């Protein structure tokens, strides 16, 4: 199976429409139809059910969609990491660290400073990314290592070390009746009709249904809290970047959040090992 065929199939499976997929791929529709048919013939499996008014995935097709995406990510990772390894010889960046914009705002500078002081440190590029993007960045080679937050982020398929665990606090508008309570319970925060919980994007980019506002990053979120439109439960380290017009109240029964440093398996370069070692010590 060639990556070209996988790219073509993934495009069709995502669009469920040959002509749109062909446009996306920058080719005409007939060669795309032919390529998919040929792929089906070689695999001995029908991947798509075509009737008029559309295309649907067969069970085998959805297996190939999932596995094919993973394979394409692995190929992209090989490409990117090789390019960077070649340029690193000429003094390019050593490591790319991915972290959610707005999270770990205390830990990150401490880690970077401590690592930079190590004798064999290499330059670290920091990649600020949206919610849930980090796993993808690691898998397709755009990043070498990431700071993740369990249980929000999944670490399946990654190697990791725990760094810190912290309690969570509810972020409320400063003037809200609950803002002066010493502590809260999850049930109280979730039941606020005037402050519905925000909705985060799912891994496919869509949003779950519900009353709360759609948010993509922390700055956006804090602004919505200050405006009295939503409330949210976050790890307490976020206190350091709170605006004065919002309040933080501990939530006793919220799950505690563990910050972990994670990297793709089988990629322990010397530089990465040094960064991980530094991280676990500070």
Q: Which positions touch DNA (CB under 7 A)?
A: 2, 4, 17-19, 26-31, 33-38, 50-55
Q: What x/- string results for residues 78 through 107 when contact with a second copy is judged by CB under 8 A?
A: xx-xxx-xxxxx------------------
Binding partner of residue 267 among a second copy, DNA, none, CB cut-off 5 to 8 Å per kind:
a second copy
Q: CB of 26: closest distance to DNA in angstroms?
A: 7
Torsion, Cα of 173, 178, 180, 183 (10° steps): -120
Write the CA distances from 266 to 121, 260, 263, integer angstroms. 20, 18, 9
Q: Which is nearer to a second copy, 21 or 158 (CB)?
A: 158
* 179 touches a second copy by CB under 8 A: no
Binding partner of residue 266 among a second copy, DNA, none, CB cut-off 5 to 8 Å per kind:
a second copy
Q: Which is nearer to DNA, 5 or 188 (CB)?
A: 5
* 26 touches a second copy by CB under 8 A: no
Tokens coding 227: 């405006």
Q: CB of 2: closest distance to DNA in angstroms?
A: 7
Angle, helices 59-88/3-15, rounded to nearest 10 degrees: 130
Contact indicator for 270, 120 with CB cutoff of 8 Å:
yes
Would you give the DSSP letter of residue 106?
Answer: T
Residues 6+ apart with CB under 8 A from 143: 96, 97, 98, 127, 134, 137
Q: Judged by CB under 8 A, how many residues of this single chain contact a second copy?
A: 43
The bridge status of strand 246-250 relative to strand 168-173 is antiparallel
- Rounded distance, CA 185 to CA 252, Å? 6
Question: Which residue in 70, 93, 227, 241 binds a second copy (CB under 8 A)?
Answer: 70
Which positions touch a second copy (CB under 8 A)? 1-4, 6, 43-47, 58-60, 63-64, 66-68, 70-71, 73-75, 77-79, 81-83, 85-89, 141, 156-159, 264-267
């Amino acid at each position: 199976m060639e990556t070209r065929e996988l790219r073509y199939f993934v495009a069709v499976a995502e669009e469920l429409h040959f002509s749109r997929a062909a446009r996306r791929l920058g080719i005409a529709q007939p060669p795309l139809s032919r390529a998919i048919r040929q792929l089906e013939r070689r695999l001995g499996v029908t991947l798509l059910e075509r009737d008029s008014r559309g295309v649907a995935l067969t069970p085998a097709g959805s297996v190939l969609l999932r596995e094919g995406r993973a394979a394409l990510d692995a190929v992209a990772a090989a490409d990117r990491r090789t390019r960077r390894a070649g340029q690193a010889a000429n003094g390019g960046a050593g490591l790319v660290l991915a972290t959610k914009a707005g999270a770990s705002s205390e830990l990150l500078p401490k880690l970077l400073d401590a690592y930079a002081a190590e004798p064999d440190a290499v330059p670290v590029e920091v990649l600020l990314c949206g919610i849930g993007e980090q796993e993808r960045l690691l898998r397709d080679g755009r990043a070498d290592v990431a700071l993740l937050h369990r249980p929000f982020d999944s670490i399946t398929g990654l190697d990791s070390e725990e760094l810190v665990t912290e309690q969570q606090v509810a972020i409320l508008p400063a003037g809200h009746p609950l803002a002066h309570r010493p502590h809260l319970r999850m049930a109280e925060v979730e039941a606020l009709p005037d402050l519905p919980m925000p909705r985060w994007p799912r891994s496919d980019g869509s949003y779950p249904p519900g009353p709360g506002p759609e948010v993509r990053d922390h700055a956006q979120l804090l602004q919505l809290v200050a405006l009295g439109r939503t409330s949210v439960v976050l790890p307490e380290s976020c206190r350091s970047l709170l605006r004065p017009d919002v309040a933080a109240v501990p939530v006793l029964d919220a799950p505690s959040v563990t910050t972990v440093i994670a990297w793709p398996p089988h990629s322990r370069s010397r530089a990465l090992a040094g960064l991980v070692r530094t991280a676990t010590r500070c």
